[in-house]
Amino acid sequence: MTEVNTRSGDRAGRGGAGRSSVCLRLVAVVRPHLGFSAAPPPTGRPGPCTLYSDDLLPRPHAPSRLTPLPNLTASVTYEAPARGSVGMELKPGLSALVTGGASGIGKALCIALARKGVFVTVVDFSEENGREAVSILQKENKHIHAYARVPPAIFIKCDVTDGDALAAAFRKHVDTFGGLDICINCAGFVNKSLVYEDKSDGISTWRHAVNVNLVAVIDGTRIATQVMRSQKKPGVIINIGSVAGLYPMSYEPVYSGTKGGVVMFTRSLAPLKRHGIRVNVLCPEFVQTNMGEQVNRVLVDALGGFLKVEDVVNGAFELIEDESKAGACLWISKRRGMVYWPISEKEKSYLVYSSKSKRKLVKNGFPSIQTPEYFQKMVVHTLSHNFRNATRLERVRLQLPIEPHSALIKIIYAGVNASDVNFSSGRYFSGNAKEAAAHLPFDAGFEAVGIVASIGDSVKHIKVGTPVALMTFGSYAEFMLIPAKRLIPVPRPDPEVVAMLTSGLTASIALEKAGQMTSRQVVLVTAAAGGTGQFAVQLAKLAGNKVVATCGGESKSTFLASLGVDRVVNYRNENIKDVLKKEFPRGVDIIYESVGGETFDVCLNALAVYGRLIVIGMISQYQGEEGWKPQNYTGLCEKILGKSQTVAGFFLIQYAHLWQDHLEKLFNLYASGKLKVFLDPKKFLGVASVADAVEYLHSGRSVGKVVVCMDPSYGQTLAKL
């Protein structure tokens, strides 16, 4: 439960220790260097926002002349963090602004930040408590900033429900410390009477609760976001909610409703991570503070007792420092500790899907499936890099009965991959060409989604009618018999899910395992407009990195720009080598490479110290009479030795134990709107069109994932569900 201070004598709900209220907002500001001088104090008549600095004496405030928010930032040089850093490390040189920071949770946060060497601005309506808090903070970190020209802590008197005053507080903070790294909005006001018994106009009761608990949080988030974006550097915003925002609180429905609004508002801002800004919400239960002691002890005991303020501080610091947290809701419970809400198993039930994107979760109601006597499939009958010459369409009898541990799958969509030609040439079989030929004939295709049509007697974990994904040879077919243990249940058998299989999983797992991707790095993706490239650029961007992408063609450039790529290099108009050398002289940290040949050479030479080059393919070398012809890379060892670099190969089949978890992650990102999945608009219908689809992919004209609909009539019916 967010703290509500009921100390009498102070004005309620003004961001301080007012009666029945507390309002807190924290902002961290970046790196005032030892030689940085604070801006001179403004002059003019006192206003709603008054500054107190290290001497704790009031200084006059300028009249309310608000400039546009982008001008809030001071003209200072931003020192980029070291490459490979994880999240935002709390260390000396940052600064924080805390509204409601003069007592309770806010004060505890201020002290904890000061002990980290963070410069702190306390914003509060209570002048007495504010002075006391700043005095404590100065003692906490004065030894760290003994030679700084700015004070370790300052106090700004402010009514957070006054939008002009709040903006002025942000401006004064930025003018003093030179930037904005972290903003934590914690506002709380609990009304003593029930809203349905309130006969007043609500200005000092329930309407005031809405303004303090929700409107001020939205306003603070808005201002902080605009400042951070104008600075063009990463930032973190944390909104302090309450467990009352997760579950109803009947004795204070307005408080519960406003805190619920804070939770949903914050979770809806997850896409801001594309701009380097992470917004999270912290929801504690009852905290052992002056306010907490006034809560009915029976209710507190029912929840396991009081939380300590240190528990809330630890939760806030986790949300600040963990780069993966964006749009996250951290519930702090005495019984369970820190838990992210909702848990992944329940989150899908809260998601809303648009009919346009076809992201609906349908548990049943798929069209009935008739088990066929015969079906068609694509078979490799001779080894060749020419997929059309290597394959033929066959009509085969379904082998019944189904084996006890197997399942019959009706394939709806199958994915097309560049490596289909490697498979048809026998490259994925061990041994020489003669040994590979011994496997002939074999079924073609790597991945598909479909519906379980029938199951063996021993299959218990999956039912007929379940939509599934599969990643095994033989998916270029109308039906497929497969061991049931290899099936991956999915929400829907849509083509977007096919794209998440080989293409999406390769990007997700390769960047994590082979690339060891963190944040604030430069990531280069070659062939970025393809099936796997589209995932790589988005995942790198979601992780908070600067993304460079190569492609061939204006339409592909436009497509990549729409995904948020920072720098698109169209090799038909620009020289990739020249662009990388000029614009990224320090090199690239991670390269996701799938082209091979000359592009590989360019990438290797562009790799930064400690850089990692991930080889996920070499599409430029797959085609032709000799197909995949090995190349020599003279001096490779010397190059990577001198710069402590890594060239890492990646083959998806060796990470099968991670498929389920990463597929769920991709689908959740897609379903929540954080990840886009693009399918090439060209339609390929039926098994007979597979060779056309493979040739189209290798033509270089495709954008996004190429898929084949194995049963057009069934696919159309499914799309209407």
- In this structure, of 94-108, 276-290, 353-367, 660-674, the range with the lowest mean pLDDT score is 353-367
225-246 pLDDT, tens digit each: 998 888 877 889 999 999 889 9
Residue 620 pLDDT: 79
Angle of CA points 479, 483, 487, to nearest 5°: 80
Higher-confidence position of 442 and 345: 442
Long-range CB pairs of 345-353, under 8 A, 24+ apart, other chains included: 347/668, 348/491, 348/668, 348/671, 351/671, 351/672, 353/671
What is the three-class DSSP state of 694? helix
- Does the CA dihedral 609-612-618-619 come out positive or negative? negative
307-331 mean pLDDT: 92
500-509 mean pLDDT: 97
Query: In what helix (H) or strand (E) does residue 311 lie, and over which residues does it extend?
Result: helix 309-321
Look at residue 82 and tell me whether its pLDDT is greater than 60.
Answer: no
Higher-confidence position of 429 and 397: 397
Higher-confidence position of 617 and 631: 617
Q: Map 585-599 to HEC letters.
A: CCCEEEEEECCCCHH
620-670 pLDDT, tens digit each: 776 655 556 677 777 889 889 999 999 999 999 999 999 999 999 999 899
- In this structure, of 69-73, 272-276, 642-646, the range with the lowest mean pLDDT score is 69-73
| Rounded Cα–Cα distance for residues 556 and 569 (Å) | 10
Instruction: Fill in the amino acid letter for 137.
Output: L
Contacting residues for 62 by C-beta, under 8 A, at least 6 apart: 42, 43, 44, 47, 168
DSSP single-letter state for residue 92: B
In this prediction, what percent of the chain has a pLDDT beyond 90? 54
Look at residue 614 and tell me whether its pLDDT is greater than 70.
Answer: yes
48-53 mean pLDDT: 44
Within a 10 A sphere around the Cβ of 441, how many other Cβ atoms? 12
| Rounded Cα–Cα distance for residues 690 and 301 (Å) | 65
Long-range CB pairs of 75-83, under 8 A, 24+ apart, other chains included: 76/36, 76/178, 76/179, 78/30, 78/31, 78/179, 78/231, 78/232, 78/233, 79/31, 80/520, 81/520, 83/520, 83/521, 83/589, 83/608, 83/610
Higher-confidence position of 584 and 27: 584
Long-range CB pairs of 107-111, under 8 A, 24+ apart, other chains included: 107/133, 108/309, 108/310, 108/312, 108/313, 109/24, 109/26, 109/184, 109/312, 109/313, 109/316, 110/26, 110/137, 110/153, 111/136, 111/137, 111/140
* Residue 269 token pair: 């801002």
Rounded to the nearest 5 percent, the helix, strand and coil shares of the chain are 35, 20, 45
| Rounded Cα–Cα distance for residues 523 and 595 (Å) | 16
Look at residue 359 and tell me whether its pLDDT is greater than 90.
Answer: no
99-104 mean pLDDT: 84
409-436 mean pLDDT: 87
* Residue 571 Ramachandran class (φ > 0 left, ψ -120 to 50 alpha, else beta): alpha
663-693 pLDDT, tens digit each: 999 998 998 889 999 999 999 999 999 999 9
Residue 57 pLDDT: 29
Instruction: Fill in the amino acid letter for 570.
Output: N
| Rounded Cα–Cα distance for residues 150 and 130 (Å) | 18
DSSP single-letter state for residue 550: E
| Rounded Cα–Cα distance for residues 590 and 587 (Å) | 9
| Phi, psi dihedrals of residue 526, rounded to the nearest 5° | -90, 155
The model carries a pTM of 0.54
Q: Please tell me which of 94-103, 294-303, 431-440, 660-669 the model is most confident about, judged by mean pLDDT.
A: 660-669
DSSP single-letter state for residue 11: -
* Residue 708 token pair: 């084949």
**Mean pLDDT across the chain, nearest whole number?**
82
Max Cα-Cα span within the chain: 92
- Is the distance from CB of 448 to CB of 499 less than 8 angstroms? no
Q: Let me know how long the chain is.
A: 721
The packing angle between helices 163-177 and 216-231, to 10°, is 30
Q: Domains for the chain: give ranges and CATH numbers.
A: 21-33+91-341 (3.40.50.720), 374-493+707-719 (3.90.180.10), 501-657 (3.40.50.720)
Confidence band for 4, pLDDT divided at 50, 70 and 90: very low
| Rounded Cα–Cα distance for residues 146 and 139 (Å) | 11
353-377 mean pLDDT: 61
572-598 mean pLDDT: 96
* Residue 170 Ramachandran class (φ > 0 left, ψ -120 to 50 alpha, else beta): alpha
Residue 428 pLDDT: 79
Angle of CA points 654, 656, 660, to nearest 5°: 155
| Rounded Cα–Cα distance for residues 20 and 104 (Å) | 13
Look at residue 295 and tell me whether its pLDDT is greater than 70.
Answer: no
689-716 mean pLDDT: 90
Pairing of strands 567-570, 546-551: parallel
- Is the distance from CB of 332 to CB of 352 less than 8 angstroms? no
Query: In what helix (H) or strand (E) does residue 581 lie, and over which residues does it extend?
Result: helix 576-583
Look at residue 11 and tell me whether its pLDDT is greater than 60.
Answer: no
Residue 437 pLDDT: 86
11-36 mean pLDDT: 34
